[in-house]
Amino acid sequence: MPNNHNLSVIGHAQIKIDAMGKVTGETKYADDLVLPRMVYGKLLRSVYPHARIIGIDASRARALPGVFAVITGKDLPIKYGIMPSTQDEEALCVDRVRFVGDPVAAVAAIDEETAERALELIEVEYEPLAPVMNIRDALDEKFPQIHAYADHHNIHKFVALEFGDLDAGFRAAEYVREDVFFYEGDTHLAMEEHACIGHFSADGKLTLYSSTQTPHYVHRALEKALQFPRGHIRVIAAPVGGGFGGKTDPFSHEVVACKLSMLTGRPVKITLTREEVFYTHRGRHPVLMWIKSGVKRDGQITALHFKTILDGGAYGSYGIASTYYTGALQTVTYKIPTYKFEGVRVFTNKPPCGPKRGHGTPQPRFGLEVHLDKIARELNLDPAEMRRKYVVDDGTQTVNHLTITSCGLRECIDEVVKASDWKNRKSQIPNSKSQIKRGLGIACSSYLSGAGLPIYWNDLPHSGVIVKVDRGGGVAVFCGSTDIGQGSDSLLAYIAAEEFGLKPQDIKVFSADTDLTPVDLGSYSSRVTVMTGNACIQAARIVKEKILQASAEKLLVPPASLAMRDGVVICEDDENRKLSFVQAINLAEAKFGTLTGTGSYKPPKRAGPFKGSGVGPSPSYSYSACVAAVAVDTETGEVKVEKLFLAHDGGRAINPLSVIGQTEGSAYMGFGEALMEESAFRKNMHKIPSLLDYKSPTTLDTPELHAILVETIDPEGPYGAKEAGQGPLLPVPPAIANAIFDAVGVRIDEVPITPDKVLRALEEKSKGNAPRFGPKDFPVIKMPEAIKVEPPDAKHAPRLVQ
């Protein structure tokens, strides 16, 4: 554990600054906001999975008393989308609907009931088209094309990259293995449904209050979709009741609420129902995977060839980035000297997939870690030891040009091995005769601490912070970052408090308001702690320097001898020479004028020299290792995860309580995905769009969670911090799958691992067939030639041992 003695706030457990407001119900989420003269909006959604819109007659809806406005796609014809290269979304579909739930018209009315009645009066004439409901249909050209701009028919995107000499890698191997895996899609299930208010005010300016993780990107999309100058639009992210990636796109309801307000001159609120949130989606992509690796007898990887097909749903969303992410981070945990990645994303007539916690990486991590477990079993190696031996080193670059600044994975493995009594797992000790069999499984992972590149190309800072100190002693921090429950507002307070020698409760944080706060790109890609943290330190230190200089003059000591702690500016050499914080800032303001400091953060430029290198680079990478302890009921196939031991290297834990919370939350979510969560479709529709039927674990189902913090001090992070919000999810599903094998000797190569699948695999095993449940094959796709990329400078890169 790092030494926190010189730090009074950082590294110490703290209550979040917004905790009391939330637990007492005082916090106003977007749906709690009420503005004078406010009316309510509702969206009419497509009942067809795929159809042309022939005509819309809204005259009866418009005539209904209490209706203020009705709009259709013709009123908002300009396409937008989160990625510059996939501007394929319409706020309301203009001439084609692409999934059941795609919005086609909208109403503003005096209340929600009237708005709903008005929707029923809108007549839409459709011409149905054949729906494309899965990966195999999407690869079949007899189905209609969903978007004209795709790389090939319904293949949205091809990615093919080869790093180093793959053939040579396989030639150097002593054991080669191929596997196929499937990871079903699932959704974020944030407690708060999306809500927003668009308010076009009397002064001709537009304000949007929204439960969004990315006010800056929404700001940009509104300018485009509404054709209204961004300088006259203000986006305020209300406190967000859970995001997990589900509130990172600009959404139809946000554009529509603004448009309806512009038409009616009244604030317009739209709150989605839970069912609508399932249609809005942007959740985990279903991914079919093929993996082939070559290893030495001791488990050292010589070559890795990895293919993915992502079922993207109806629109682009973050899908291109998601596709790259299914390949990019496979290299960051273990030394891999040659690597080929081929990724494909297809369009289907389902709600669009996008980023969910771990964005594009839990699926390939599941495939890789179960694959490695099979190799370890085959070569008679300890799965923990095999992994530990070839962990990447600090200060190296991976074969695909990603820079490892700090890696605590070895310590993470050691911690979970120790905590779980790994050495005495089932394969070492025979099970009892009971139908309940127990086992342990291990898996590791890595995740980025912020995307190294922004969503749209620019050379601007990724995060900006302003610190303002008031002569009464108030310290205010302004930052565009968005607190979605992860604690980013608190982070700003901890840092300012640390720098000024105050308590976090002394700091006021103003965040996520495009008029008041400098731009931060948003709460995604686990970027906020590193990026806003660094910007905040920079801003605070500018002010601090002024305070120290003015204080030094007053106290007749050199500025370097002064420290700020416990609410005073004090001379370290003579503790009688000191000033209160308020005295000191008054001196500083007198000397320098209004006291503010600004900070800006841009990640280091580390993208490799190839097309597609923009996805994967990050200032630093977090590391996680998980051991799952499971009990499998061999009569029912039910899996009870009894314990999850999760060690996480998130760099220095700025608030260890928060990092433990994020680690436990991630473990819980990974556990839910592993065993039950799935976006299921039947008859061209989402089968279970409700909180009752979409199964997410309750507290009674949740295992004992043992979070262990491994704190490397990363050179890039504020005080050495890295990420913690997403990475710890990744090793959980494969650790559980591996534990099931340890317990009962069957492989479930498909997530979620339902009792039915386990029981079927056990039945196959008892018949003497392959003890496995999972996809049988991987489709043949004509891929473009892979871009061949030389590994980075040989002295930093992992070497192929001949």
Partner 1 sequence: MLRLPPFEYLAPKNLADAAQLLAQYGDDAMLVAGGTDLFPNMKRRQMTPKFVIGLNALRELRGIKNENGNVVIGAGTTLTQISQSLNLSALATAAGLVSSPQLRNAGTIGGNLCLDTRCNYYDQTFFWRKAIGFCMKKDGDICLVAPGGNRCWAISSTDCAPVAVALDASVRLVGPKGERVIAAAELYRDDGMDYLTKARDEILTEIILPPADGLRSTYLKLRRRNSIDFPILGVAAAVRVAPNGIVEHARIILGAIASHPVQAIDAEKILIGQRLSDDVIAAAADAAFKPAKPMDNADAAYAWRKKMVRVYVRRALTELKEQN
H/E stretch holding 743: helix 732-744
Backbone phi, then psi, for 104, in 5-degree steps? -120, -25
Contact between 738 and 383 (Cβ < 8 Å): yes
Collapse the DSSP code of 589 into the 3-class scheme (helix H, G, I; strand E, B; otherwise coil) and give the result. helix
Per-residue HEC secondary structure of 635-700 comes to CCCCEEEEEEEEEEECECCCCHHHHHHHHHHHHHHHHHHHHCCCCCEECCEECCCCCCCCCCCCCC
Categorise residue 566: left if φ over 0, alpha if ψ from -120 to 50, beta otherwise.
Answer: left
| Nearer Cβ to partner 1 (66/567) | 66
Complete DSSP assignment for 255-289: HHHHHHHHHHSS-EEEE--HHHHHHH---PPPEEE
Backbone phi, then psi, for 408, in 5-degree steps? -105, 25
Cα 708 to Cα 413: distance, rounded to the nearest angstrom: 11
Shortest distance (Å) from residue 761 CB to partner 1: 12
Shortest distance (Å) from residue 113 CB to partner 1: 6
| Nearer Cβ to partner 1 (113/574) | 113
Shortest distance (Å) from residue 93 CB to partner 1: 15
Cα 272 to Cα 152: distance, rounded to the nearest angstrom: 34
**Structure token pair of residue 49:** 């999975």
Secondary structure percentages of the chain, helix, strand, coil, to 5 = 30, 25, 45
Contact between 789 and 401 (Cβ < 8 Å): yes
Q: Which amino acid is at 240?
A: V
Cα–Cα distances (Å) from 504 to 342, 531, 534, 693, in that order, read 47, 19, 17, 42
Cα 79 to Cα 676: distance, rounded to the nearest angstrom: 36
Is the Cα torsion angle 163, 167, 173, 176 positive or negative in sign? positive
| Nearer Cβ to partner 1 (693/704) | 693
Per-residue HEC secondary structure of 105-146 comes to EEEEECCHHHHHHHHHHCEEEEEECCCCCCHHHHCCCCCCCC
Shortest distance (Å) from residue 437 CB to partner 1: 16
Q: Of 442, 447, 412, 411, which is closest to residue 332 (Cα–Cα)?
A: 447
Residue 97's contacts (CB-CB under 8 Å, 6 or more residues apart) are 46, 48, 49, 50, 51, 53, 104, 126
Cα 539 to Cα 532: distance, rounded to the nearest angstrom: 10
Shortest distance (Å) from residue 419 CB to partner 1: 25
What residues pair up with 721 in beta bridges, in sequence order? 651
Q: Which residue has the tokens 């995977």?
A: 289
Contact between 53 and 122 (Cβ < 8 Å): no
Q: Of 439, 455, 272, 437, which is closest to residue 359 (Cα–Cα)?
A: 455
| Nearer Cβ to partner 1 (554/640) | 640
Shortest distance (Å) from residue 603 CB to partner 1: 41
Q: Which contacts qualify for 78-81: CB closer than 8 Å, 24 or more apart?
A: 78/224, 78/225, 78/227, 79/225, 80/221, 80/224, 80/225, 80/250, 80/255, 81/221, 81/249, 81/250, 81/315, 81/316, 81/317
Burial 450-476 (b: 16+ CB within 10 A, else e): bbbbbbeeeeebbbbbbbbbeeebebe
What residues pair up with 303 in beta bridges, in sequence order? 294
Shortest distance (Å) from residue 48 CB to partner 1: 8
Question: How buried is residue 424: exposed, middle or buried, by Cβ count under 10 Å (0-12/13-18/19+)?
Answer: exposed
Contact between 741 and 747 (Cβ < 8 Å): yes
Cα–Cα distances (Å) from 399 to 275, 329, 335, 375, 514, in that order, read 44, 11, 9, 22, 39
What residues pair up with 507 in beta bridges, in sequence order? 475
HSE-CB at 648 with a 13 A cutoff on CA atoms is: 34
Q: Of 288, 287, 283, which is closest to residue 354 (Cα–Cα)?
A: 283
Give Dmax (Cα) for the chain. Answer: 88
Shortest distance (Å) from residue 245 CB to partner 1: 23
Shortest distance (Å) from residue 643 CB to partner 1: 17
Collapse the DSSP code of 721 into the 3-class scheme (helix H, G, I; strand E, B; otherwise coil) and give the result. strand
Contact residues for partner 1 (CB under 8 A)? 45-48, 100, 112-113, 116, 193, 271, 273-275, 635-637, 676, 683, 685, 687-690, 692-693, 695, 697-701, 754-756, 759
